[in-house]
Amino acid sequence: MLLDYENIWENGRKGAIKYISSLSTGNQWEIRVSKAAEQPIAMGTATAVLLLQFLDALKIIDTDRDKWINHISSFQRDDGLFEDKIDIANPTQKQPLWALLAHRTRHCSWAIEALGGKLKRPIKFVESFKSRDSMQKWMQELWSQNWTGGFWAAGNWIMDMGVLLDLQFRHFQDEQASEAIQFLFDYLDKKQDPATGFWFGPNDDIRCAMAGAMHLYPLYLAYNRPINYFEQIIDNTLALQQSDGLFDYEVGKGGSQCLDFDAMVIISNGYFLLPEKQQQIKECSKKVLDAIMVNKQADGSFSDSRIDQLRFWSTQAAAFKSNEGSIWDTYARIMTIAMCIEILKDAPPSPMRGENHLFEIWHGGKGWNKGFNPHA
């Protein structure tokens, strides 16, 4: 089947912008994460900004940028972390509080950057983790735990720590924070599995390990740190593609926005760093693009899958239906589509503005290296 890439992108882009508008409640910058969610939260607003930036559509809120920045900035605590009390009041997953807050901090901070703002307060939370000894101790303690969610969860937490240090470095010129990221890499390199290039918890299967590892590779690329066993990483990720073209554990149910996106971030970086893998990656990307459109919704959103299930983005305030779409599912699906189109066309879809933060690094780091620097 021949795919009309321009039409796929145009329709997906217009639909996503329309969907964002449908989630606003009262003030334009107060946004729910889905239609199943009862009230707006900071994560909804932040993700809407990131999606609009990616779609090169921030101009639609140009006159209100300061209001958006002020709204998001109002959630920053004295220690630099972002906390939406409505959001975190009722957690649905067994995650440490710092991880929930760090997860919110990375999205809110990236959104402030997207709007041309700067963090108002330094990330004091990272002060205890900036020495080699303290970082090694934290990583050792993390590795000693029996993670709920396996390395999929732990990979998120490690990325969150890296993002907090990165924000402290870029916004406040804290060289010790940048150095601490290298200490984090040093520990990860020692724990990396040579056969796959992933990291494993005690009970992890390879799909779970891939999902956790994906969160770390963009940090490596952003800081020009060589990724060991990269060919093995690409081969093992490609091997996880299912018969329906997607990467979920279950076949024929629309995949999973997390696993599909995670796999394609890895594979797309492989396309730009391993020329000998390009034809195989093109074939993989064609299958993904063929299959992913089953998740397109009539309201312009994309769903996580075709499974009829109420789920939560870590808290009850961040509720969504798996088969009905959410702001994050839409963002992840749109990014996955963009990766596939660029690989298949050898040109990015347009209009689009990528490589704005770590989740958008998929050209082998070549478009990101300097990153966003408020001091530049």
CA distances (Å), 267 to each of 213, 232, 286, 354, in order? Answer: 12, 11, 13, 17
pLDDT in tens, 191-220: 999 999 999 988 899 999 999 999 999 999
Residue spans of the domains in the chain: they are 123-229
339 contacts 264 by C-beta, under 8 angstroms: yes
176 contacts 183 by C-beta, under 8 angstroms: no
Average pLDDT of span 109-131: 97
Separation CA 218–CA 343 (nearest Å): 18
Separation CA 341–CA 347 (nearest Å): 8
Lowest mean pLDDT among 230-239, 312-321, 353-362: 312-321
Q: What is the pLDDT of residue 311?
A: 78
Q: What is the pLDDT of residue 372?
A: 54
Q: Is the pLDDT of residue 2 over 80?
A: no
* β-bridge mates for residue 82, sequence order: 76
Q: What is the pLDDT of residue 199?
A: 98
Average pLDDT of span 105-125: 96
pLDDT in tens, 58-85: 998 888 899 999 999 999 999 999 999 8
Q: Is the pLDDT of residue 37 over 70?
A: yes
pLDDT in tens, 320-342: 889 999 999 999 999 999 999 99
pLDDT in tens, 351-360: 999 889 999 9
Q: What is the pLDDT of residue 376?
A: 44
- Dihedral sign for Cα 300, 304, 305, 308, please: negative
Q: What is the pLDDT of residue 85?
A: 87
The confidence band for 362, taking pLDDT boundaries of 50, 70 and 90, is very high
350 contacts 342 by C-beta, under 8 angstroms: no
Separation CA 24–CA 38 (nearest Å): 11
Percent with pLDDT over 90 in the chain: 80
